[in-house]
């Protein structure tokens, strides 16, 4: 009986700690590669060759409500106007990585 109780306690603790593990952070280096291969043709240096006023610069992202990873992820997945949807073309991890990269570059002023 004591072994059973010990086992149940250990199992409960294991489940408790496994459920509280932090999510893995997006990989900005991977996001840079994904961006170069899929986004740079239209968004080189944070610009936008199709709609010049809707850039990936910090001010523009804020103006158009695109200043969060969730908003960028949604946009990349579903596309909008001339931007194609990338859901199905890129994995969820690649889309998360590119969103983190865009926000990182916007914070740096797309300087590098």
What interhelical angle do 92-107 and 28-38 show, nearest 10?
100
- Which residues participate in the annotated binding site for heme c? 39, 42-43, 83
Separation CA 85–CA 91 (nearest Å): 12
Identify the band that residue 12 occupies on the pLDDT scale cut at 50, 70 and 90. Answer: very low
Over residues 22-49, mean pLDDT: 89
Q: For residue 13, give the 3-state DSSP assignment.
A: helix
Separation CA 56–CA 34 (nearest Å): 15
Confidence (pLDDT) at 1: 62
- Residue-wise pLDDT for 50-61, tens only, equals 999 999 999 999
* Torsion-angle region of 16 (φ positive above 0: left; ψ -120 to 50: alpha; else: beta): alpha
Ordered domains of the chain (ranges, CATH): 27-107 (1.10.760.10)
Does residue 15 surpass a pLDDT of 90?
A: no
| Count of H-run helices and E-run strands, the chain | 6, 0
What distances in angstroms separate CA 93 from CA 2, 41, 57, one per listed residue? 44, 21, 23
């Amino acid at each position: 009986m004591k072994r059973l109780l010990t086992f149940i306690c250990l199992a409960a603790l294991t489940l408790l700690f496994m459920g509280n593990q932090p999510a893995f952070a997006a990989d900005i280096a991977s996001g840079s590669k994904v961006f170069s291969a899929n986004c740079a043709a239209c968004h080189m240096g944070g610009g936008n060759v199709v709609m010049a006023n809707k850039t990936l610069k910090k001010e523009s992202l804020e103006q158009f409500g695109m200043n969060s990873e969730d908003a960028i992820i949604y946009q990349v997945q579903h596309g909008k106007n001339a931007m194609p949807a990338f859901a199905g073309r890129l994995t969820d991890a690649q889309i998360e990585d590119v969103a983190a990269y865009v926000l990182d570059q916007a914070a740096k002023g797309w300087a590098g």
